[in-house]
Amino acid sequence: MARQLRVQFPGALYHITSRGNEKKDIFKHDGDREKFIAYLKEAKERYEFLLYAYALMNNHYHLLVETPLANITQIMHYINSSYTIYFNRKNNRYGHLFQGRYKAILVDKDNYLLELSRYIHLNPVRANLVVRPEEYRWSSYRDYVRLAPRESGLIDMESILDHFSSDIRVAKHEYKKFVEEGLKKNIQLPFDHLSGGIVLGGHHFLDKIKAMTEDREAGEELLQLRKMRKSVTVAEVIEKTSIFYGRRPSDITERSRNNDERRMAIYLSKKLTLATNADIGTHFGIKGSGVSQQVRRMAHRISQSRRLQRVVETIVKCYFKV
């Protein structure tokens, strides 16, 4: 399974989820949740991040985290590994507790901080664990609607409450109203605007993240990079590549042709589209295994040739702008 793309920078905001292996419970008792919260607090003291919201469900958890120090990887390694050691020792078990790596969605703070805090705080209601969010003990919602916080220094509420009022009592009251509005069926979930499964934000925010990942071409993460960028079709790749080389599209797609133009079009089809090898092969009259071989050979040649690197850069930036 491909690893999720990780993008880290100072001030990044993430919606974090981590699920139990085979969807099994990661919290069996209230004491387990208390221990997890203790590890959260230890991680905050050690790594100096901001925690805006959390919800500890039965077989997974949600965190809304901002990282002034661009250190989400270290934060999550500490939390999940510490809790896994505790859980395994307590239950006399071995092996992985969580299902693979945690999922981290990069969030446009200006537009989605409030929506995601509401989404997290309503999770216990949507899971039919409680009727109202304040009835659930194991989320940060009670910190937002009562005057005394559950755990001093754990939840950073200012950025959210300041959206409503500078008066703390008024802000808490208004935030409660805001969350309760989410109980209505016509409130749209924020993840409808997710890009590539990893970025939640508007066009300007997405452009910013694209710029940060221009040089990220690791094989395990490439699919997510292509999804995050504006996907194009194989037909478009063939058309634009033929224009660049001053050829007809048929000069590139005909199987009898064995030239750099054809190889480049096959390579770019794999690089820029979400098409499978078999789908790409239908355009060029070859099998999926043949596409894989052509892409591998062309990638090697490109890595050795500045001329070919410039060709790739020119085609991608001039014709596809990704």
Report d(CA 114, CA 30) in Å as an integer: 28
Residue 42 clears pLDDT 70, i.e. is over it:
yes
Q: What is the pLDDT of residue 149?
A: 57
Q: What is the pLDDT of residues 248-277, one digit of tens each?
A: 888 888 876 668 899 999 999 887 776 788
Residue 285 clears pLDDT 80, i.e. is over it:
yes
Residue 38 clears pLDDT 70, i.e. is over it:
yes
Q: What is the pLDDT of residue 101?
A: 83
> Identity (one letter) of the amino acid at 58?
N
Considering 206, 238, 268, which residue would you say is the last residue of a domain? 206
Give the closest residue to 64 by CA, choosing from 144, 118, 136, 10.
118
Tell me whether residue 282 is in a domain: yes
Eight-state DSSP code of residue 12: E
Q: What is the pLDDT of residues 75-87, one digit of tens each?
A: 999 999 999 999 9
If asked whether residues 112 and 258 sit together in one domain, one would say: no
Place of tokens 């754990």: 154
Tell me whether residue 61 is in a domain: yes
Q: What is the C-alpha R_g of the chain?
A: 24
If asked whether residues 142 and 198 sit together in one domain, one would say: yes
If asked whether residues 60 and 194 sit together in one domain, one would say: yes
Q: What is the pLDDT of residues 154-199, one digit of tens each?
A: 999 999 999 999 998 999 999 999 999 988 765 666 776 676 668 8
Confidence class of residue 54 from pLDDT cuts 50, 70 and 90? very high
Tell me whether residue 5 is in a domain: no
If asked whether residues 19 and 96 sit together in one domain, one would say: yes
Is residue 49 within 8 Å of residue 67, measured between CB atoms?
yes
Residue 294 clears pLDDT 50, i.e. is over it:
yes
If asked whether residues 164 and 201 sit together in one domain, one would say: yes
Confidence class of residue 293 from pLDDT cuts 50, 70 and 90? confident
Q: What is the pLDDT of residue 82?
A: 95
Q: What is the mean pLDDT of the chain?
A: 85
If asked whether residues 129 and 33 sit together in one domain, one would say: yes
If asked whether residues 172 and 300 sit together in one domain, one would say: no
Confidence class of residue 147 from pLDDT cuts 50, 70 and 90? low
If asked whether residues 62 and 160 sit together in one domain, one would say: yes
Q: Which helix (H) or strand (E) holds 223?
A: helix 222-228
> Identity (one letter) of the amino acid at 235?
A
If asked whether residues 237 and 199 sit together in one domain, one would say: no
User: Using CA of residue 136, residue 137, residue 143, residue 148, what is the dihedral sign?
Assistant: positive
Q: What is the pLDDT of residue 218?
A: 42
Percent of the chain clearing pLDDT 90 (strictly above)? 45
Is residue 107 within 8 Å of residue 40, measured between CB atoms?
no
Residue 320 clears pLDDT 90, i.e. is over it:
no
Q: Of 48-62, 137-151, 176-190, where does the model show the most confidence?
A: 48-62
Confidence class of residue 296 from pLDDT cuts 50, 70 and 90? confident
The total domain count for the chain is 2
Report d(CA 2, CA 97) in Å as an integer: 19
Q: What is the pLDDT of residue 193?
A: 65
Give the closest residue to 139 by CA, choosing from 224, 50, 33, 245.
33
If asked whether residues 61 and 157 sit together in one domain, one would say: yes
Q: Find the CATH number of the domain harbouring 265.
A: 1.10.1750.10
Tell me whether residue 2 is in a domain: no
Considering 174, 206, 238, which residue would you say is the last residue of a domain? 206
Residue 222 clears pLDDT 50, i.e. is over it:
no
Residue 219 clears pLDDT 50, i.e. is over it:
no
If asked whether residues 161 and 243 sit together in one domain, one would say: no
Give the closest residue to 236 by CA, choosing from 303, 322, 294, 301.
322
Residue 92 clears pLDDT 90, i.e. is over it:
yes
If asked whether residues 191 and 235 sit together in one domain, one would say: no
Report d(CA 97, CA 90) in Å as an integer: 12
Confidence class of residue 89 from pLDDT cuts 50, 70 and 90? very high
Q: Using DSSP, how many helices (H) and how many strands (E) does the chain show?
A: 15, 6
Within 10 angstroms of residue 122's Cβ, the number of other Cβ atoms is: 22
Listed range (68-77, 146-155, 189-198, 209-218) with the worst mean pLDDT? 209-218
Within 10 angstroms of residue 96's Cβ, the number of other Cβ atoms is: 12
Considering 206, 222, 242, which residue would you say is the last residue of a domain? 206
| Secondary structure (3-state) at 237 | helix
Tell me whether residue 224 is in a domain: no
- Here the tokens at position 39 are 């590890």
Calculate ∠ Cα 26-28-29, nearest 5°.
Answer: 130
Q: Find the CATH number of the domain harbouring 202.
A: 3.30.70.1290
Percent of the chain clearing pLDDT 70 (strictly above)? 84
* Domain containing residue 146: 12-206
Q: What is the pLDDT of residue 2?
A: 45
Tell me whether residue 195 is in a domain: yes
Calculate ∠ Cα 198-203-207, nearest 5°.
Answer: 70
> Identity (one letter) of the amino acid at 291?
V
pTM for this model (two decimals): 0.66
Tell me whether residue 51 is in a domain: yes
Residue 212 clears pLDDT 80, i.e. is over it:
no
Tell me whether residue 75 is in a domain: yes
| Partners of 292 in the β-ladder | none
